[in-house]
């Protein structure tokens, strides 16, 4: 008798399906009349779109969050954002830890894949630190926001502060303040500073957090530079992140300096802080302090580049990721200089890391390109608006040039799928949808040189 092979899901497929299940459950809850502010159920396509943008921490919305959803609906959205930012596997692991249940090897493999970690050592402690660190940062952000929102909105300001803090840290970009995002607070230093800090902390990644704390603790009694003692991963993340934020802010400041529709009529200080905020938020956060459709073409191009790169690995941000881009650039430079090894901070980058970086970038760009072509074919909009929309969706940013609300049903479906693919990760998607694992041939195929370039 032939034994039937037992069907099992890989850890990556479980992660993909868990996100999909969360989205579907969230869409059903949001489609209920109780979730709507006027007591009438919203069309299911909009409920599905909102559930997807919340779980995928994107921020693109077809309906204004502040006026469409009731308190119940907003609570559902906030829970989806928190689950999406941390990952359903992390949330489930946290519940297990609270119930004092021991994590098995399967649970550990899920966590390892969810955070793209290289080792299973200390995963329980890692999950605890992630949950505690997240709650601490979000709590601090909510307290600081309360100084602005409570005087303005009264008791409701507490809820707004909590919602905004979670959304900012998870890089979701969804708010319940106004229909024009944070445009009313474009020149408010506290709102700008708190939102930017939450976005950056969420985008840096948890690995960098623990590495910086490790170095600070180990060198608490010695007055030496912290940066030199960080791991290579942290050095790349910190350097690229700082360069992108400052470089992006400078370019946006120059290109928008005389634009009366954005910062042209502001004081010098306000021009600087708005330019800095635009540079920070484009890296997968999605809050807007100036209308994106009013940006000059040059600033829109800069924003597109920042959105494509996104944040850093093992964090709440999306995009190709800072480390991936750094590895690709170094690999290209090494090839141009005819060097055998790509190096960063006097360390060689492994061939496996370079292959992964290429796979991530190519899959990401393929999703973005396919989405752009399909959206152009189904919706009547300018090329720049469509590209801005699809890049924002793929990189889970959430910024739009006012195109999202006018999308037809086909356009909404395209963006829903794009947001999902962008959130679960290009490399995870490629692995999960790939063919079954096969044993590698002992004898490799013959090698032949081809012409490149």
Tokens 């996100």 — which residue? 19
DSSP code for 185: G
pLDDT reading at 352 higher than 60: yes
pLDDT computed for residue 151 by the predictor: 95
C-alpha to C-alpha distance for 92 and 90, rounded to whole angstroms: 5
What average pLDDT is seen over the chain? 86
Q: Which two structure tokens, joined as six digits, stand for 24? A: 């579907």
* Contact indicator for 377, 421 with CB cutoff of 8 Å: no
pLDDT computed for residue 203 by the predictor: 87
pLDDT computed for residue 127 by the predictor: 79
Tokens 């910062």 — which residue? 263
Percent over 70 (pLDDT), the chain: 82
Mean pLDDT for 205-234 is 79
C-alpha to C-alpha distance for 167 and 99, rounded to whole angstroms: 27
pLDDT reading at 119 higher than 80: no
pLDDT reading at 256 higher than 90: yes
DSSP code for 171: T
- Element containing residue 429 per DSSP (H, E): helix 426-433
Mean pLDDT for 346-370 is 89
pLDDT computed for residue 198 by the predictor: 95
pLDDT computed for residue 370 by the predictor: 96
Least confident span in 115-124, 251-260, 435-444: 435-444
Confidence band for 55, pLDDT divided at 50, 70 and 90: very high
End-to-end CA distance of the chain: 56
What are the tens digits of pLDDT across the range 325-342?
A: 999 999 999 988 888 888
Confidence band for 17, pLDDT divided at 50, 70 and 90: confident
Helix axes 232-256, 189-204, angle to 10 degrees: 140
Residue-wise burial string across 168-203, b where 16 or more C-beta atoms lie within 10 A, e elsewhere: bbbbbbbbbbeeebbeebbbbeebbebbbbbbbbbb
C-alpha to C-alpha distance for 348 and 433, rounded to whole angstroms: 31
Burial bucket for residue 450 (CB in 10 Å: 0-12, 13-18, 19+): exposed
What are the tens digits of pLDDT across the range 157-195?
A: 999 999 999 999 998 999 999 998 999 999 999 999 999
Least confident span in 83-92, 354-363, 417-426, 433-442: 433-442
What are the tens digits of pLDDT across the range 130-159?
A: 888 899 999 999 999 999 999 999 999 999
Contacts of 93 (CB under 8 A, 6+ apart): 103, 107, 110, 111, 127
Burial bucket for residue 138 (CB in 10 Å: 0-12, 13-18, 19+): buried
Q: Which of the two residues, 386 and 229, has the higher pLDDT score? A: 386
Confidence band for 313, pLDDT divided at 50, 70 and 90: confident
Q: Which of the two residues, 80 and 18, has the higher pLDDT score? A: 80
C-alpha to C-alpha distance for 322 and 324, rounded to whole angstroms: 5
- How many residues can be counted in the chain? 453
C-alpha to C-alpha distance for 135 and 125, rounded to whole angstroms: 15
pLDDT computed for residue 36 by the predictor: 96
Most confident of 15-24, 229-238, 283-292, 399-408: 399-408
Mean pLDDT for 410-430 is 84
Q: Which of the two residues, 379 and 441, has the higher pLDDT score? A: 379
Mean pLDDT for 239-255 is 96
* Contact indicator for 84, 172 with CB cutoff of 8 Å: yes
**Among the listed residues 319, 290, 293, 317, the one whose alpha carbon sits nearest the alpha carbon of residue 305:** 319
- Domain spans of the chain, in order of start: 11-218+226-430
Confidence band for 439, pLDDT divided at 50, 70 and 90: very low
Cα 75 to Cα 26, 174, 205, 364: the distances in Å are 11, 12, 25, 31
Q: Which of the two residues, 390 and 7, has the higher pLDDT score? A: 390
pLDDT computed for residue 260 by the predictor: 95
Mean pLDDT for 365-382 is 95
pLDDT computed for residue 98 by the predictor: 64
């Amino acid at each position: 008798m032939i034994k039937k092979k037992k069907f099992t899901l890989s850890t990556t497929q479980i992660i993909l399906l868990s996100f999909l299940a969360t989205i579907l459950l969230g869409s059903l809850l949001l489609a209920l009349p109780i979730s709507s502010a006027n007591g009438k159920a919203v069309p299911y396509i909009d409920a599905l779109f909102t559930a997807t943008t919340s779980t995928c921490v994107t921020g693109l919305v077809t309906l204004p969050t502040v006026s469409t959803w009731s308190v119940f609906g907003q609570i559902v959205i906030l829970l989806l954002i928190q689950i999406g930012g941390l990952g359903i596997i992390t949330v489930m692991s946290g519940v297990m830890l609270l119930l004092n249940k021991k994590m098995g090897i399967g649970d550990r493999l899920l966590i390892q894949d969810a955070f793209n970690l290289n080792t299973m050592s200390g995963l329980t402690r890692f999950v605890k630190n992630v949950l505690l660190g997240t709650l601490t940062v979000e709590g601090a952000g909510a307290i600081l926001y309360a100084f602005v929102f409570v005087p303005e909105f009264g008791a409701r300001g507490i809820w707004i502060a909590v919602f905004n803090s979670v959304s900012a840290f998870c890089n979701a970009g969804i708010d319940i303040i106004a229909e024009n995002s944070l445009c009313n607070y474009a020149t408010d230093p506290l709102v700008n500073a708190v939102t930017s800090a939450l976005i950056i902390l969420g985008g840096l990644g948890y690995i960098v957090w623990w590495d910086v704390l490790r170095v600070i603790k180990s060198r608490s009694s010695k007055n030496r530079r912290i940066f030199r003692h960080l791991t290579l991963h942290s050095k790349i993340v910190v350097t690229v992140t700082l360069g992108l934020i400052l470089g992006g802010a400078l370019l946006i400041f120059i290109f928008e300096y005389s634009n009366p529709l954005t910062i042209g009529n502001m004081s010098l200080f306000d021009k600087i802080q708005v330019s800095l905020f635009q540079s920070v938020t484009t890296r997968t956060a999605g809050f807007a302090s100036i209308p994106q459709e009013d940006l000059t073409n040059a600033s829109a191009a800069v924003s597109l580049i920042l959105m494509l790169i996104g944040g850093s690995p093992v964090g709440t941000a999306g995009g190709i990721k800072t480390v991936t881009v750094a590895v690709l650039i170094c690999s290209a430079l090494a090839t141009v200089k005819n060097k055998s090894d790509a190096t960063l901070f006097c360390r060689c980058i492994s061939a496996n890391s370079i292959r992964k970086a290429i796979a991530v970038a190519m899959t990401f760009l393929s999703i973005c390109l396919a989405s752009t072509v399909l959206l152009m074919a189904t919706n009547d909009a300018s090329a720049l608006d469509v590209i801005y929309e699809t890049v924002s969706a793929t990189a889970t940013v959430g910024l739009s040039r006012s195109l999202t609300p006018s999308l037809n049903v086909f356009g909404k479906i395209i963006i829903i799928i794009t947001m999902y693919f962008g959130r679960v990760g290009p490399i995870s998607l490629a692995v999960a949808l790939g063919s079954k694992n096969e044993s590698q041939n002992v004898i490799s195929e013959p090698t032949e040189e081809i012409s490149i370039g």
